[in-house]
Structure 1
Amino acid sequence: MSEPKTDPQDGADAEAQGPGAVEIDGVAVRFRSRRRDVTALREASLNVKSGEFVAIVGPSGCGKSTLLKLVAGLLKPSSGTVRLHGEQVTGPRADIGYVFQRAALLEWRSARRNIMLQAEMRRMPSEQARKRTAELIEMTGLGGFEDALPHELSGGMQQRVALCRALLHEPPVLLMDEPFGALDALTREQLNIEMNRIWRETRTTVLLVTHSIAEAAYLADRVVVMTDRPGTIAEIIDVGLPAERDYAETMARPEFARVTNRARTLLGAGVNAAD
């Protein structure tokens, strides 16, 4: 694998703007037990600017989800440092949102009340939480399904509820761990389009883990390609597409082909491999 490559301007921009929203500096993670030692991550470094959308792709078991857990403060690095807005992460953070592969909704609570669970846990003012919930329901196209129970919602709608829940407290950083991986292709495409629109409206800093190279290239400003375990960053690819992206038109653009082909080459899949 080649050394990580970035646009030189990225470093200049980050320096001019001060600390990044997320700074991962020389991080390694090692898990030790009586039977074996496993290095999940080695010397991983990444600087994510405020409002940037960064997607992370790589082989299974390469440490993609581990990176998100480090940023969330759910896991401590064996070496190196992680910072959010210049502050070192030393434990679980309240200033992030987290969306998982499974929506993990409470079956006995309506869509609205599942979203409001975030407010209850954070002791948000009730009127503020209700107003924000209504805004998010409208933003994500859940209008008319506010009182539906999870079993009455499609998989895509359940993930929309989970996204609303993660965004309720207006976190400056949103972490997404393969949130659309279990959905059918058409629903996944629709949610990719919605996610692009929501990100443009909120300008939340997003770190997305995905196994889909096409999804990464469509949604992100930059695509981080990781190596096999012990995972590190092989290359960071600048996507170079406008923030507002029509799905079909984006797929046909040379910038999209450049990013997906380069990512496939780095992952050893060949440029004609399917996602």
Structure 2
Amino acid sequence: MTVTQQAPAVEIDKVAVRFRGKKREVLALEDVTVDVRPGEFVSIVGPSGCGKSTLLKLVSGLLKPSAGAVRLLGGSVDGPRHDVGFVFQRAALLEWRTARRNILLQAEMRGMPEREAAQRAGELIEMTGLTGFEDALPHELSGGMQQRVALCRALLHRPPVLLMDEPFGALDALTREQMNVELHRIWRETGTTVLLVTHSIAEAVYLSNRVVVMTPRPGTIAEVIDVDLADERDYAATMSLPGFATATGRVRELLGAAGGHE
């Protein structure tokens, strides 16, 4: 899909984060600057402990920077934001609620009109291939289907920005590939701005317009890599394209991890 040239949807401006413990202070992020344009899909990769998830918490307002500024949709992020969607590594579904009712939990928490929420839930269930499983309980769903429910829940209120923290990390390789394909299709159809944290280099490049590569702690930006691939991407065909090889190779070079990441 075409990324607009409007003002950034997400702005992270010279951000630092320090965590103070009883015995020492840890500098988690230092001088981090990155923008995400409206409708763009940006992935963040880097070594464990470099502050990738911390960046998502800053954007959602769950954490305040020690220095610098974070802006979302043109406004300063000064506290928890209710205009984002958040998908975590674990689906975190309520075991006693069906798939549909887990999705609608978002509506109950936000006070959305029932008819509007039900219609939106139906659209998302169809879009994510959950038709026929609306009344299934979480233990009756595969890991991939559980993550589809979590994705529907995050998208129910039509957030302009979707934050995803290793959402497919616990899935088997085949299911993860299938979820990559589904997520990319959903992103193209919805136009939502997405900021994804992942340890998988292949996943980052396949899904994204750009990949942000971070350094070891204190995390900063090593490089932002443009992904030169068509908007519509067949998974198997994409893996063999020169543009894919170039981007994944550069990420591996920056991470010094030719055998340490997917």
| TM class, shorter-length | over 0.9
Q: Which residue of 1 aligns with 2:203?
A: 215
Question: Contact 2:84/2:163 (CA < 8 Å) preserved in 1?
Answer: yes
Q: Give % identity.
A: 73
| Counterpart code for 1:176 | M
The correspondence for 1:180, drawn from 168, 172, 178, is 168
Structure 1 residue runs of 5 or longer lacking an equivalent are: 1-9
Residue-by-residue CA offset, 1:68-106 (whole Å, 9 max, x unaligned): 000000000000000011100000001000000000000
Establish whether residue 115 from structure 1 lines up as the match of residue 103 from structure 2: yes
**RMSD of the TM alignment (CA)?**
1.2
Residue pair 2:199, 2:261 contacting (<8 A) in 1 also: no
Query: Aligned AA for 2:54?
Result: T
Question: 1:240 Cα deviation (Å)?
Answer: 1.4
Q: 2:190 aligns with which of 165, 185, 202?
A: 202
**Selected match of 1:265 from 247, 253, 258:** 253
Alignment of structure 1 residues 39-50 onto 2, 5 Å: 39-50=27-38
Cα separation, 2, equivalents of 1:273 and 1:121: 40
Q: 1 CA distance for matches of 2:114 and 2:230?
A: 38
- C-alpha distance in structure 1 between counterparts of 2:38 and 2:63, whole Å: 22
Q: State how far apart, in whole Å, the 2-side matches of 1:86 and 1:132 are.
A: 27
Aligned runs of 1:32-43 on 2, under 5 Å?
32-43=20-31
1:45 Cα offset (Å):
0.4
CA distance in 1, matches of 2:100, 2:73: 31
Instruction: Give the aligned residue type for 2:159.
Output: P
Instruction: Tell me which of 14, 28, 31 is aligned to 2:16.
Output: 28
Letter matched to residue 140 of structure 2: E
1:127 aligned onto 2:107: no
The offset of 1:135, in angstroms, is: 0.1
The answer as to 2:127 corresponding to 1:148 is no
Q: SS of 1:29's equivalent?
A: strand
Letter in 2 for 1:265: E
Contact 2:18-2:26 within 8 A present in 1 as well: yes
Identify unmatched segments of 5+ residues in structure 2: none
The alpha carbon displacement at 1:274 in A equals 5.2
Q: Which whole-Å CA distance do the structure 1 matches of 2:82 and 2:91 have between them?
A: 19
CA contact (8 A) 2:214 2:220 kept: yes
> Is 2:85 aligned against 1:97?
yes
Q: CA deviation at 1:273?
A: 5.9
- Is the aligned partner of 1:158 residue 2:179? no
Give the corresponding residue for 2:124: 136
Normalising by structure 1, report the TM-score. Answer: 0.93
Tell me which residue corresponds to 1:106.
Answer: 94
Q: What SS does the corresponding residue of 2:230 show, helix, strand or coil?
A: coil
Q: Residues of 2 paired with 1:26 and 1:273: CA distance?
A: 29
Partner of 1:68: 56
Map of 1:226 onto structure 2: 214
Q: Is the 8 A contact 2:43 2:211 kept in 1?
A: yes
Deviation at 1:252, TM superposition (A): 0.5
Which contiguous aligned blocks of 4+ residues in structure 1 show a shift greater than 6 angstroms? none
1:34 CA drift (Å)? 1.7
Q: Is the 8 A contact 2:200 2:261 kept in 1?
A: no
Give me the whole-angstrom Cα distance separating, in 2, the residues matched to 1:269 and 1:59.
9
8 Å CA contact 2:201–2:261 kept in 1: the answer is no
Secondary structure of 2:233 counterpart: coil
What is the CA deviation profile of residues 245-265 of structure 1, one whole-angstrom value per residue up to 9, with x for unaligned ones? 000110000000001000000
Structure 1 residue 51: Cα displacement: 0.1
